[in-house]
Amino acid sequence: MTHPEFLPIQWKSTHLELLDQRILPGKKEFLKIVSVEETILAIREMAVRGAPAIAITGVFGLTLGAKSRVGVASSKDIDSLLTSVLESRPTAVNLSYAIREAKNRIQGITDWSLITEVWESYGKEMVKLDLSANRALGENGLSLFPKDQSEYHIITHCNTGALATAGHGTALGVIRSLRDAGKKVIVYADETRPFLQGSRLTAFEMMEEGIECYIITDGMSGWLMNHRKIDAVLVGCDRVAANGDTANKIGTYNLGIVAKEHGVPFYVCATKDSFDLNLKTGDEIPIEMRKESEVTQFDFLKTEDGKFLFPEGKTSPIGARALNPSFDVTKAHLIKNFITEFGCFVPEEISVRLKNV
């Protein structure tokens, strides 16, 4: 998907096009987004997902919002627009950084047409910077894998590839870089319930790349580490606190505990904007709660004539309740290294490393 570069976010000057990740891998269709309201809906409904991709999409959504307005922009109208996009998904820090920078870039500007130009330029800049950061991150990750080893077995969680970024990816970017360095990589992709970003999206990307990949359920990692040699766990992240506690897709924490028990190095792949030094620990990271129906129903249980075994594709009793936190926090002591575009380092070095970036 990176040969040629696969770009799930495409700005077309008059509108935004997003690869609809809700219907992958069954269909490859782009959504045409023409307003800030449609942008917010696409983010909330996970047509686009992944912290870097959400941030870029949010800025182009602001651009569409500004483009629809004329005349003089009041500070109240600007703040209302910024807040509406910021609140679309709360856990990933990338979006809040992007919104803050978008506001800073229009200080003293009150003409909506000029604001549109500034935000459009910023969105394009974000795409280029994210692609560059991902490629650098992938190359830096190579240093953590023995050069004299020809084959690596790696577990991933959620989707951290081109679909979650402007292209190339973070954790999957490291895997791509290993492949490009001539190594054989075998990927074990956690399905990542309930939205199945691993089985739907990571497996899709790996198949597109020709990288060997096996889907495992979220509860299989312990068995896998106990029965096969796993060289590393590679995950992405949505927010990293100052002490190294890391929020990522629900199930990451479990994977970190199992990796620690089996002596498997657990690596978090993060670009600069994933770090939030304003938060001392992961206890301060807001966790998004999503709708219960994502857990209680699915459409794969059907009879031979195509009818659902459960009404409306439910996989649980009618009326059953469910919890659906979208993220959890992996404690810093479970993380061996952070892999970033500015190097690899242990959690204790975060504050020092970030000061120099």
Domain spans in the chain, listed from the N-terminal domain onward: 9-135, 142-354
Distances in Å between the Cα of 241 and the Cα atoms of 152, 211, 277 are 30, 33, 6
- The residues that bridge with 239 in the sheet, in sequence order, are 247
DSSP 82-123: HHHHHTT--S-HHHHHHHHHHHHTTTT--BHHHHHHHHHHHH
Hey, which CATH number is domain 142-354, 3.40.30.10, 3.40.50.620, 3.20.20.140, 3.40.50.10470?
3.40.50.10470
Burial of 315: CB neighbours in 10 Å, binned 0-12, 13-18, 19+: middle
Task: Check residues 306 and 221 and name the one with the higher pLDDT.
Answer: 221
How large is the average pLDDT for residues 139-158?
Answer: 97
Decide if pLDDT at 301 tops 60: no
Q: Distance between CA 269 and CA 154 in Å, rounded?
A: 14
* pLDDT of 304 over the 80 cut: no
Would the annotation count 179 as a binding residue? Answer: no
Rounded Cα distance, 81 and 61, in Å? 10
Superfamily of domain 9-135: translation initiation factor eif-2b, domain 1 (1.20.120.420)
Does 256 appear as a known binding residue?
A: no
What is the pLDDT at residue 314? 75
φ, ψ dihedrals at 193, nearest 5°: -65, 150
Is the predicted pLDDT of residue 276 greater than 60, yes or no?
A: yes
Q: What's the CA gap between 257 and 200, in Å, rounded?
A: 25
DSSP three-state, residue 28: coil
Mean pLDDT, range 88-99, rounded to an integer: 92
228 is in an annotated binding site: no
Least confident of 234-243, 287-296, 325-334: 287-296
Share of the chain above pLDDT 90, in %: 85
- With residue 267 as reference, give the H or E element that holds it: strand 266-269
Largest CA distance in the chain: 66
Tell me the residue type at 4.
P
Which residue is associated with the tokens 């249980």? 301
181 is in an annotated binding site: no
24 bridge partner residues: none
**297 — pLDDT class (breaks 50, 70, 90):** confident
Band (4; pLDDT cuts 50, 70, 90): very low
pLDDT at position 303 is 60
Compute φ and ψ for 161, nearest 5 degrees: -105, -150
pLDDT for residue 76: 97
Q: Are 48 and 10 in contact (CB under 8 A)?
A: no
Which of 190, 238, 245, 273 is labelled catalytic? 238
Pairing of strands 151-156, 184-190: parallel
75 pLDDT tier (thresholds 50, 70, 90): very high
Q: Which of 172, 186, 164, 175 is nearest to 142 (CA)?
A: 175
pLDDT in tens, 180-225: 999 999 999 999 999 999 999 999 999 999 999 999 999 999 999 9
Number of Cβ atoms within 10 Å of the Cβ of 30: 15
d(CA 2, CA 18): 17
User: What band does 315 get if pLDDT is binned at 50, 70 and 90?
Assistant: confident
Q: What average pLDDT does the structure give for the chain?
A: 93
DSSP structural state of residue 277: T
pLDDT greater at residue 7 or residue 199? 199
Higher pLDDT, 205 or 303: 205
What's the pLDDT at 310?
60
pLDDT > 60? residue 72: yes
Among this protein's residues, is 238 annotated catalytic? yes
249 has binding-site annotation: yes
Helix/strand/coil percentages in the chain, nearest 5: 45, 20, 40
